[in-house]
Amino acid sequence: MLAQEIIRAKRDGGALDAAQIAHFVRGLVDGSWSEGQVAALGMAVFLRGMGREEAVLLTRAMMNSGRVMRWPDMPGPVLDKHSSGGVGDKVSLMLAPLVAACGGYVPMIAGRGLGHTGGTVDKLEAIPGYTTMPAPADFDRIVRSLGCAIIGQTADLAPADKRFYATRDVTATVESVPLITASILSKKLAAGLEGLAMDVKCGNGAFCDTPQMARELAESIVAVGSGAGLKIRALITDMNEVLGSTAGNMLEIAETIAYLSGDEREPRLHEVTLALAAEMLVIGGLAADEAAARSKLQRALDSGAAAEKFAQMVAALGGPADLFERPDAHLCLAPVVRPVPAPRAGVLTGLRTRDIGLAVVELGGGRRKAADAIDMSVGFGRFRHLGDELAAGEAIAIVHAADEAAAERAIAAVQAACDFAEPGSAWTGQPIVMERVG
């Protein structure tokens, strides 16, 4: 079988069969497909699309391109959640221990920041000593004993996807729904999951910037995941403003601690967390319905059980055992902390959220290229929300920066990203959970 004939078949609009897809995925791993051939097939799929069955075949083949985790004799359901990415999205940090406190087992393999979106692994590395790449046996042991562990992707998990994505990233073929679907699900299936809750972000801070695109991706992920034998549901959630009150690695860890401790639970962040966690409990048979799941989750929060799970996970993965008792002793602070003054009085009616994410990158809190080091201390705290009325000069957010010049640039970026209506103007927002699929 020749690579060029497989490319030709897809170029001409044909559907690839199992043997052709297996040949391609094998070529990704052993190098028998050149970069040019990988790029050509990626572009052919981008332009011609893929049917559901093709996407299932590609997902399964990439899943099986490396190690596939197994969880025999687990006393509860093996569950996970995945987000398509946003600004201030720290839901995974509180959701994994929360579901574990309710009887689920969450072997969460998370990613790093990409472009303007933050990454869960980067956030966890703001905790001193926390290792995101433990030995497989340690990962297995921690998940089994505590119910959850959040780590980074290992090189032997869906290696075909890693190479394919790297090529797509530099050939303008990332924005293909079937390829995004296969990329996400191949890694999740390789983690040995029984159930998955998918969070498809929608809005000006998300990859899917329209409801139509978000719905297309959600439906694709649910259909392909179900076709591959996974119990799966998707929520489409709003990403037209920062989720929670912080954006930046250390600041988001601090907000996670405040959330789990009960000191501060920003309503939108709380709703997304509970909605996704409830889907996981229902999928896993740990609750009869959403209402029962939410009640169980709230008890796990209020009793401190979820906070205890997070603290135990941090300690088990090398972080400080007293993180909750002494967070200020362990989380690094930026040397410059400045308010972002509102340029005028009025109601905050719009926020170009992607620009806020890029401002975090400009502060040093994200990467322009893969090898870049990250300043864990920088970002934005106490971000105000759409519909809030501010006086002139009142803080829209607090910037945490490495120096005064960086702080000034960040202040200007936030001010430029905000829209204000006249004081007293009515404003009606949309619900944070926009739609459920599956």
Active site residues: 80-83, 120, 168, 183, 187-188
Residue type, 104: G
List C-alpha distances in Å: 300 to 81, 128, 406.
18, 26, 41
Distances (CA, A) of 83 to 109, 308, 391, 423, 427: 12, 24, 35, 35, 28
Instruction: Count the alpha carbons within 13 Å of 11 in the hemisphere toward its beta carbon.
Output: 11
* φ and ψ of 167, to 5 deg: -70, -45
Q: Is 426 exposed, middle or buried (0-12, 13-18, 19+ CB in 10 A)?
A: exposed
Cα–Cα distance, 231 to 215 (Å, whole number): 18
Q: For residues 176 and 47, what is the distance between their CA atoms, to the nearest angstrom?
A: 9
CB 167 within 8 Å of CB 42: yes
Q: What are residue 380's DSSP bridge partners?
A: 247, 399
| Strand extents, DSSP E, 211-306 | 231-238
Distance (Å) of CA 362 to CA 241, 370, 401: 18, 15, 10
Q: Would you tell me how many other CB atoms lie within 10 Å of the CB of residue 170?
A: 10
Give SS3 for 380: strand
Q: Positive or negative CA dihedral for 110, 116, 122, 124?
A: negative
Where on the phi/psi map is residue 147: left (φ > 0), alpha (ψ -120 to 50), or beta? left
* Contacts of 337 by beta carbon, 8 Å cutoff, 6+ apart: 398, 399, 400, 401
Q: What is the DSSP string of 294-347?
A: HHHHHHHHHTTHHHHHHHHHHHHTTS-TTTTT-HHHHS---SEEEEEE-SSSEE
Please state, in angstroms and rounded to a whole number, the distance separating the CA atoms of residues 6 and 17.
10
CA-CA distance, 280 to 55, in Å (whole number)? 24
